[in-house]
Amino acid sequence: MADCPGKDAWPELVGALGEAAERVIERENPNVNAIVVRDGTIVTPDFRCDRVWVWVNDRGKDVWPELVGANGDAAATVIERQNPNVNAIVVRDGTSVTEDIRCDRVWVWVNRRGVVVRPPRIVKSAYRLIRDLKCIDAESLLGGTSSSNSQDQGWVWSLAAPPKVRLFVWSCCSGAIPVRERLKQRKIPVENLCPRCKLHSESILHCLLYCTFARQVWALSNLPYVSYWYDGNEVESWLLQIKSRTDAKDFGWAAILMWWIWFGRSKLLWENEDLQLVGLITLARDFFNRFRTASVHIRIPPANRTSAKCQPPPCPFVKINLDAAFSGDGELVGFGMIAKNGEGVCIGWNTLTFNLPLSPEAAEAIAALRAIEFGLAPGWSHLILEGDCLTVMKGISNPFASNGVLGHNLASQLESFRALHEVCECNMAAHHLAKLAVSGFSFSFDLPSVIHNIVISDLS
């Protein structure tokens, strides 16, 4: 903007009313036309010396730095005149006030002479980040009650999608995704154009919906209508419309596509690696199918569990049940292990596969080795190992021996260790994890529901 005549930046107008800022800009530089636009609106990306965009939120003025040093009562009058929605209250600096957040109140802090000593603002300084959200939602974000008419975001956490996708969707709804437009608003010196289309300002909704690349992704999905019937600028509103028009499976697929669109954008921006359209769709669909497979409900005939009662470990021990299973040709071995705390609650699990011809005893021994490694990783120092192979459990009952099946003597890194032989009924969760692993299931997210049901059954 160095070639444009006159003043070209007005940082002092942040917090002012849009119409007032417009008048100031045009008075200080008669060569420009100041245009007030709501934050998030898509505008033309062309550069013009005779135009200034004045970005405003959907509320009135909410901060008055210019009133520092003014008389408190006069400042209160100015605040209420400039924003009729608020009640300005003059308080002595250092006075204890209520901690609740209200959009209709401004504290005017004065010293003993009645002079304003802090910039009056609607939202407390500790909550400045919330200013970019609707103020009526501020209390709900901080765990209080809210008078907002927007729906509770509890639906995000019930999405049929992996936890990291749910968190991403919640971050999108909360405006916490570092798109360039958001970074620019926080005075970070970055170009605000979308790194893909390079035509429009990169808002969250532009990145996920309005960008040409994003529209092509939605067109190739099974949800092509997603990109056509919404023309607003609120992410949550868009997602709730998708939710109202799809079932749980398709809604989960839409959320996963959103995550992959963002992932592809990040790969392009930070690693200069462009995931082409078809490639991104293929990766997203594979990701979705693996999640669906891991979450599938498998019918396994109930076992007769009356012969033994499965007990949780004594405090402070963690108990890891382990087992091995073989494929039909005996070439592939699957290992399953599941950890429980003193209340019998699952606190960790793992599956592995080996493409080696092993004897049943050798497979159980390797499963025991991997189970101890699994217990060492999170730092559990008191461990009970349970398996249904008597020979292996006897072989490692002395954990500090340098020979035996645990040649690396991993158990010596533990403060206390026990190896117990357990009847098959109490090893069912680990047994089915091993069977599912060897059958080709890939687990990367939540505990499979069939295993979860077995764990719940053990608690009963």
pLDDT in tens, 431-453: 888 888 887 665 544 566 656 66
CA distances in angstroms from 344 to 61, 238, 338, 348, 459, listed in the order given? 56, 42, 11, 12, 6
CATH classification code of 65-141: 3.30.10.10
How do residues 78-93 score in pLDDT, each as one tens digit?
888 877 778 888 988 8
- Out of 176-180, 229-233, 241-245, 264-268, pick the least confident: 229-233
Range 347-376 average pLDDT:
83
Q: Which long-range contacts (CB under 8 A, 24 or more apart) does 4-10 make?
A: 4/31, 4/49, 5/29, 5/31, 5/49, 6/30, 6/31, 6/32, 10/52
Q: How far is CA 273 from the centre of its chain?
A: 23
- 162 or 125, greater pLDDT: 162
Of 117-126, 200-209, 445-454, which gets the smallest average pLDDT? 445-454
Long-range CB contacts (< 8 A, 24+ apart) of 127-136? 127/101, 130/101, 131/57, 131/62, 132/57, 132/175, 132/182, 132/185, 133/174, 133/175, 134/58, 135/59, 135/62, 135/101, 135/103, 136/103
- Answer with the residue of higher pLDDT: 123 or 193: 193
Q: Which CATH class is domain 318-459?
A: alpha beta
**For residues 185 and 125, what is the distance between their CA atoms, to the nearest angstrom?**
17
Average pLDDT along the chain: 77
Whether the per-residue pLDDT at 64 is higher than 60: the answer is: yes
Residue 141 pLDDT: 40
Q: Kindly report the CATH class assigned to 11-56.
A: alpha beta
Q: Provide the pLDDT for residue 255.
A: 92
> Is the per-residue pLDDT at 400 higher than 60?
no
**Is the predicted pLDDT of residue 256 greater than 90, yes or no?**
yes
Residue whose C-alpha is closest to residue 325's, from 388, 385, 373, 390:
388
Where b means 16+ CB within 10 Å and e means fewer, 102-124 reads bbeebbbbbeeeeebeeebbbbe
CB contact at 8 A, 401 and 419 = no
Listed by start position, the domains of the chain span 11-56, 65-141, 153-294, 318-459
Lowest mean pLDDT among 59-73, 209-223, 390-404: 390-404
CA distances from 368 to 68, 313, 364 (A): 70, 17, 6
Q: What is the pLDDT of residues 282-292, one digit of tens each?
A: 899 888 888 87
pLDDT of 412 above 90:
no
Q: Output the pLDDT for position 405.
A: 41
Whole-prediction pTM value? 0.38
Residues 6-51 pLDDT 10s:
888 887 787 777 777 888 898 899 888 888 877 767 777 778 888 8
Domains 11-56 and 318-459 are alike in CATH topology: no
Q: Is the per-residue pLDDT at 265 higher than 60?
A: yes
User: How crowded is the C-beta side of 101, counted as CA atoms within 13 Å?
Assistant: 25
Instruction: Please name which of 438, 381, 387 lies closest in space to residue 411, comparing C-alpha atoms.
Output: 381
